[in-house]
Amino acid sequence: MRCSYNGLLALTKTRLRENPSDGQLFVFINRQRNQMKCLYYESGGYCLWCKRLEQGRFAQIQSVEGKILMTKIELEMLIDGIDLSTVKKRKRYHKNVS
């Protein structure tokens, strides 16, 4: 968790093999799961958001190759302390746009 902009940019490019300026949000959580950093690109430059928990831990998430695709709501749930493995997502209608 000592990495700042340059370190997290390098991790995103080398380990995750992603382009950090594509508009995605990259979340990094430390081993103790009590600190989180989010890196994203806005017009004009990179933004870094950090959160350190005074008590508790972020939920552990199983990843493939160190990557997890999450929706905005799933990220909000992770930040709020909800364990995503215990959440059941109900089926919803989605209109196909062609």
pLDDT of residue 2: 82
pLDDT in tens, 36-59: 999 999 988 999 999 999 999 998
10 Å CB burial of residue 19 (0-12, 13-18, 19+) is exposed
φ, ψ (nearest 5 deg) of residue 47: -120, 145
CA–CA dist 2, 63 (Å, integer)? 22
Give the percent of the chain with pLDDT over 90.
41
Determine the pLDDT at residue 98. 67
